[in-house]
Structure 1
């Protein structure tokens, strides 16, 4: 692994905090928008919180995980492992 793993982990944690904040803001916006058109009840609020927040976390979190994988050296170690059985020309031997 690369020596950049601690820096990549710190950046990943920072990104996840921003993503969580964005999720909370999206939930607030969605609840405000819904309140303009329907009377909010427990079911609507719970479904909106779960659906919006988890969707934001899942979508953004997967992108953050991909960036972390690249910056921490995980992608390079996999690339090196798959090239182990290839010759100089890049063909399997």
Structure 2
């Protein structure tokens, strides 16, 4: 029988995903600020910046920022809803069993 998780409750799931989306919207703005900071540093260093370099740098910095933010946000979502505590660690049982021998 499959165990129910906290995200199986529609109210908890809706609140958790709303929090996730809110966090990601704020982090998207943070990513834009990070892109502007990087472009500012490049401009300050008198780096030649053709249009394609500006576009590639902006996309690369923003996507990297959002990937890290998304993964960390999912980690917090999983932990915050109690999902992590509901996982059965099969390897732990095997290690405990081997230690008894």
TM-score of the alignment, normalized to the shorter chain, above 0.5? yes
Q: Which runs of 5+ in 1 are unaligned?
A: none
Aligned to 1:41: 50
Aligned equivalents of 1:35 and 1:44: distance in 2? 12
CA contact (8 A) 1:5 1:73 kept: no
Which residue of structure 1 lines up, in the alignment, with residue 74 of structure 2? 65
CA shift for structure 1 position 39: 2.9
- Whether 1:29 aligns to 2:8 is no
Per the normalisation by structure 1, the TM-score is 0.75
Number of equivalenced pairs = 84
How far 1:72 sits from its partner (Å)?
A: 2.9
Q: CA RMSD in A?
A: 1.9
In structure 2, C-alpha distance between the alignment counterparts of 1:70 and 1:7, rounded to whole Å: 14
Deviation at 1:78, TM superposition (A): 2.2
Q: What are the ranges of 5 or more consecutive residues in structure 2 without an aligned counterpart?
A: none
